[in-house]
Amino acid sequence: MMKAANTLKADVVVIGGGPAGMSAAVAAREAGAEEVVIIERESRLSGILQQCIHNGFGLHKFREELTGPEYGLRYEEMVKKLDIIVMTETMAVDITPGRVVTAVSKERGYFSIDAGAVVLAMGCREKSRGALSIPGTRPSGVFTAGTAQKLVNIKGYMPGKRIVILGSGDIGLIMARRMTLEGAEVKAVCEIMEDSGGLTRNIVQCLRDFDIPLMLRHTVVKIHGNKRVEGVTVARVDENLKPIPGTQEYIECDTLMLSVGLIPENELSKKAGVEIDPKTRGPVVDENRQTKVPGIFACGNVVKVHELVDFVSDEGETAGRAAALFSQGKSLSVSESHKNSNSHKSAVSVPREQKKGVKHLQGSGGNTVICTICPMGCKITVDKNMNVSGNTCSRGEKYAIQEVTAPKRTLTTTMYAEGGTMVPVRTDSPVPREKLFDCMEEINSKTLILPIRSGDIIIENIEGTGANVVAAGSFL
């Protein structure tokens, strides 16, 4: 990287090393940018994917069902191969409209990079209790779902044992299953709306599999406890989402997990002078993902909250390619109708599997199954004579019969390694659902020794299921 009197120079600077930032950096290099820098405040790349150890990533991009760390690793390898400069443990603190990025790290102190183009890829953050104003005391034991996820999946700590989750979006649902598999009792998931905001498959595999109650049209109206949460009061809400008097119910618990929404990380975007869309709370961008400030691009969750990482990567590619062209002084074409793409629906067709909620599960009799083999998400019905309808391929028929007779699940969890590292692991094929807890017990009874590479077999034929437990991340 070139250096000019205390200020470094680069063609493209990407802020944030999550899936959006990594794919932007890769695309920028591939489009001819020579010096591409990723600035990432954490100690490694991959962003939120590191803690999303469940599977369900990459069906569109790689036509495979990967865990979050596995999806991230694919991009980390591309970043490495293309000689992209990665500055981890480095926090970007300022950007000028003229594209000078100021950052700070232990190694370099304060420094600036004069960038040909900048890509904002800082992701989003969770709404906290403060944003919800729940009355009651201020005991410990109230966590956002993402913080709890980080504690259990990265740090190896259990946030609590008896849990109520507020919010039934995918993060809330996934944490309900995760905590249950690790031995906690999830007493209820409360959802203020009349249907869950999560993917249908997550309602099935995270709640129904474990008989976790989903309390629709309910919210938490009070938190009890002094030092530690002792319980919460929940109540039904009316059509204006106001609690209905007389419907209060006390639930004893030691932990309340809040999974009530995400907001784009937009402080830096504002400093750069980019226009913020009041609806998405992220920068206004055009079809090249260029903000209203020339040469500053944005992609991924910093623009608007995305449900699927695959679309985040697509957006990163668009932004990275355009940033490379801008830094080379080439013009970017923008069609009039796409000047502000935030206000337009994504060009990518939304797969059926993404349809939301419990209602999507209600069939016309028989057993209704949402197929998860591919992103199509066919809604398949199996009647009592095992006649199957609604599938679009023979794999769907097989899946549906299996699901109603002897369901199987891919198990994803973490394993403790000497030195305190939590290594994400998965079974390499689905195991019978009733064996999940036996498999967890065997996994939790073992300690790993590093180094471990993604794909290494850790336990062969776990619990006689025929499936091996393999590492889903590399720790060298």
Ligand X SMILES: Cc1cc2nc3c(=O)[nH]c(=O)nc-3n(C[C@H](O)[C@H](O)[C@H](O)COP(=O)(O)OP(=O)(O)OC[C@H]3O[C@@H](n4cnc5c(N)ncnc54)[C@H](O)[C@@H]3O)c2cc1C
164 and 251 in contact (C-beta within 8 Å)? yes
Of 10-18, 105-113, 321-329, 413-421: span binding ligand X (CB under 6 A)? 10-18
DSSP state of 18: S
The smaller minimum CB distance to ligand X, of residues 251 and 302, is found at 302
Regarding beta strands 162-166 and 185-191, do their DSSP bridges make them parallel or antiparallel, or are they unpaired?
Answer: parallel
Question: Minimum CB separation from ligand X for residue 337, in Å?
Answer: 25
The smaller minimum CB distance to ligand X, of residues 158 and 221, is found at 158
By CB atoms closer than 10 A (0-12, 13-18, 19+), residue 447 is: exposed
Q: Is 369 left (phi over 0), alpha (psi -120 to 50) or beta?
A: beta
Considering only residues 237 to 266 of the shown chain, the ones binding ligand X according to CB under 6 A are 265
Round to whole Å and give the CA distance between 413 and 242. Answer: 38
- Asked if 17 is part of the footprint of ligand X (rule: CB under 6 A), the reply reads yes
Out of 36, 57, 189, 424, name the contact with ligand X by CB under 6 A.
Answer: 57
Of 212-220, 308-316, 407-415, 457-465: span binding ligand X (CB under 6 A)? 308-316
Give the distance from CA 51 to its chain's centroid: 8
431 and 442 in contact (C-beta within 8 Å)? no
Q: Which residue is nearest to ligand X (CB)?
A: 18
The smaller minimum CB distance to ligand X, of residues 277 and 463, is found at 277
Q: What are the strands, taking DSSP E only, across 150-240?
A: 162-166, 185-191, 214-216, 218-224, 231-236
The smaller minimum CB distance to ligand X, of residues 261 and 466, is found at 261
Question: Minimum CB separation from ligand X for residue 19, in Å?
Answer: 4
Residues with Cβ within 8 Å of residue 283, at least 6 apart in sequence: 120, 264, 266, 269, 274, 275, 276, 277, 291, 292, 298, 302, 303
The smaller minimum CB distance to ligand X, of residues 174 and 296, is found at 174
The smaller minimum CB distance to ligand X, of residues 17 and 69, is found at 17
How many residues bind ligand X (CB under 6 A)? The answer is: 38
Considering only residues 33 to 52 of the shown chain, the ones binding ligand X according to CB under 6 A are 39-42, 47-49, 52
The smaller minimum CB distance to ligand X, of residues 174 and 253, is found at 174
- Asked if 174 is part of the footprint of ligand X (rule: CB under 6 A), the reply reads yes
Round to whole Å and give the CA distance between 320 and 318. Answer: 6
Question: Minimum CB separation from ligand X for residue 141, in Å?
Answer: 20
Round to whole Å and give the CA distance between 122 and 136. Answer: 33
Provide the token pair at 297: 């691009």
173 and 189 in contact (C-beta within 8 Å)? yes
Give the distance from CA 410 to its chain's centroid: 18
Round to whole Å and give the CA distance between 183 and 230. Answer: 19
Number of H helices, E strands in the chain: 10, 29
Nearest Cα residue to 206 out of 56, 329, 311: 56
Of 25-33, 77-85, 229-237, 300-308: span binding ligand X (CB under 6 A)? 300-308
DSSP state of 272: T
Question: Minimum CB separation from ligand X for residue 51, in Å?
Answer: 7
Question: Minimum CB separation from ligand X for residue 466, in Å?
Answer: 25
CA distance between the termini of the chain: 27
Regarding beta strands 255-258 and 142-144, do their DSSP bridges make them parallel or antiparallel, or are they unpaired?
Answer: parallel
The smaller minimum CB distance to ligand X, of residues 298 and 380, is found at 298
The smaller minimum CB distance to ligand X, of residues 266 and 381, is found at 266
The smaller minimum CB distance to ligand X, of residues 371 and 388, is found at 371
**Half-sphere exposure in the Cβ direction for 101 (13 Å, CA):** 29
Out of 78, 91, 100, 134, name the contact with ligand X by CB under 6 A.
Answer: 91
Question: Minimum CB separation from ligand X for residue 303, in Å?
Answer: 8
Of 303-311, 372-380, 436-444, 464-472: span binding ligand X (CB under 6 A)? 303-311
Round to whole Å and give the CA distance between 412 and 432. Answer: 14
Out of 129, 306, 321, 435, name the contact with ligand X by CB under 6 A.
Answer: 306
Considering only residues 338 to 397 of the shown chain, the ones binding ligand X according to CB under 6 A are none
Round to whole Å and give the CA distance between 177 and 205. Answer: 8
The smaller minimum CB distance to ligand X, of residues 124 and 237, is found at 124
Round to whole Å and give the CA distance between 426 and 416. Answer: 14
Out of 33, 190, 251, 312, name the contact with ligand X by CB under 6 A.
Answer: 312
Considering only residues 113 to 172 of the shown chain, the ones binding ligand X according to CB under 6 A are 121-123, 146, 149, 170-171
Task: Give the x/- contact pattern for ligand X in 61-90, rule: CB under 6 A.
Answer: ------------------------------
212 and 196 in contact (C-beta within 8 Å)? no
Question: Minimum CB separation from ligand X for residue 211, in Å?
Answer: 22
Question: Minimum CB separation from ligand X for residue 57, in Å?
Answer: 5
In the complex, the residues that contact ligand X under the rule CB under 6 A are 15-21, 39-42, 47-49, 52, 54, 56-57, 91-92, 121-123, 146, 149, 170-171, 174, 265, 268, 300-302, 306, 308-310, 312
